[in-house]
Amino acid sequence: MTNHFQLGSLGNDELLASLSHLVAKDRRVTADLLAHLAECDERRLHLDLGFASLFAYCTESLGFCEATAWRRITAARVCRRFPEAFALVASGKLHLSALCSLKPHLDPDNAGELFELCRNQSARRVDELLAARFPRPDVPDAIRRLPTRRAATGGAAVGLETLTSDAGSAGTRAPPDVQRPAEVDRATSGSAAPAAMEQRNGRAPAVANMPAQAPSAPARLEPLSADRFGVRFTADAEFCALLERVRGLAAHRLPSGDLLVLLKRGLEAYERELTKERFGVGRKRRGDGSKTAARPSNRSRHIPVGVASEVYLRDDGQCTFISDDGRRCAARGRLELDHVKPWAVGGEPTVQNLRLRCSAHNLRHAENCFGRARIRAALAEPPRPNLANSRAAPKSDES
């Protein structure tokens, strides 16, 4: 039985000719793959399959690594905007790295010129050409004082170093060199770009509809074993002082001052604060929402604290969308309280009519109810202040 992958019997000319044929075929297949990804992105089919983003679908269902998924999604969106790029990819005149570098600079007026400029160029040369065409400010001088070795006691030194943790999960950790993007597939889809990839080109990540205050360089999580991870970050003087004060206060409970335990307790307290603020968990209840449902003439979008808290706990802080094949969306970020029967058609803010949905699946439900064109038009309108209900309430959907 012969092995298809054993090529020792091929002559040099035959091997090189076969390799050239395969490269040309690969380029055509890559162009076709980008076209299919672009169409899936436009139709947002990943939402119906139970994935909060196209990136999650590519990595978790199609089996792409994070870097490959980001590069192909970004290139597919460039080709979707400028269809002439498909032919350039199929012919090998533009590669995916070039398309990713070109993305932030392209517009209808310069696309043809930039494609020609970067044709048949290496990734490094493309970056040089774009830097000359679109210069950026010099990197400012900086003086930083970082520790050169770990502290002998107290668990771990503060600063740019590694902390071991057993609190992570293999399903949520990010790879050491690629940041998992926070892609937001709203009506106008943006680009999902890992920070490490964007930093290669000297740019900060730019994601459509991403909050301006979102961090561009989160702490690095480095897998050390099946259930332990290294965390790297640089601490400022304020953090160091705060840490020492907390260590002093906790000395009777934690004589060793172990940093892992202190940080876990701090994050647990912050989690309680955020769930209380966002969904009323632990907040004093003023009613169960029954009065709101009993008076349709005085309807309000306000969701009672007790209702929001019960829905959050019932749904376990996770998007509740389930695909036809039984897959539940794994998103735990950007969660919203979604009306099963939309508020606009009489749905009430009750426990039975509310559920947790990530923003992408919340929007998908609204589009299914009212049509995509109507929802896009509504999103394009400037927000109107609600003077009749100015009291802060848990966030709900807009449908």
Q: Report domain extents, the chain.
A: 12-133, 163-174+218-278, 290-389
Residue scoring higher pLDDT (54 or 290): 54
CA–CA separation, 269 and 277 (whole Å): 12
Q: Say which residue the tokens 């994601």 belong to.
A: 207
Residues 6+ apart with CB under 8 A from 203: 104
Rounded to whole angstroms, the Cα distance separating 328 from 300 reads 30
CATH class as words, domain 290-389: mainly alpha
Contact 165, 228 (CB under 8 A): yes
Contact 321, 358 (CB under 8 A): yes
CA 345 to mean position of chain CA atoms: 32
Report pTM. 0.61
Cα-atom radius of gyration of the chain, to the nearest Å? 26
Of 158-162, 222-226, 251-255, 334-338, highest mean pLDDT:
334-338
173 pLDDT band, cuts 50/70/90, is very low
Q: For residue 231, list its beta bridge partners.
A: 163, 221
pLDDT of residue 386: 56
Residue 47 in this model has a pLDDT that exceeds 80? yes
CA distance 329 to 190: 20
83 phi, psi to nearest 5 deg: -60, -20
What is the spatial distance between Cα 281 and Cα 150, in angstroms, rounded to a whole number?
Answer: 39
- Tens of pLDDT, residues 250-309: 888 888 778 888 888 999 999 889 988 888 888 776 654 444 444 445 677 888 888 999
pLDDT by residue (tens digit) across 223-252? 666 566 777 777 778 888 888 888 888 888
Instruction: Kindly report, residue by residue over 102-157, the tens digit of the pLDDT.
Output: 999 999 999 999 999 999 999 988 988 888 888 877 655 443 556 455 444 343 44
Q: What pLDDT band is residue 196 in, cutting at 50, 70 and 90? A: very low
Least confident of 212-216, 353-357, 365-369: 212-216
pLDDT band at 392 (very low <50, low <70, confident <90, very high): very low
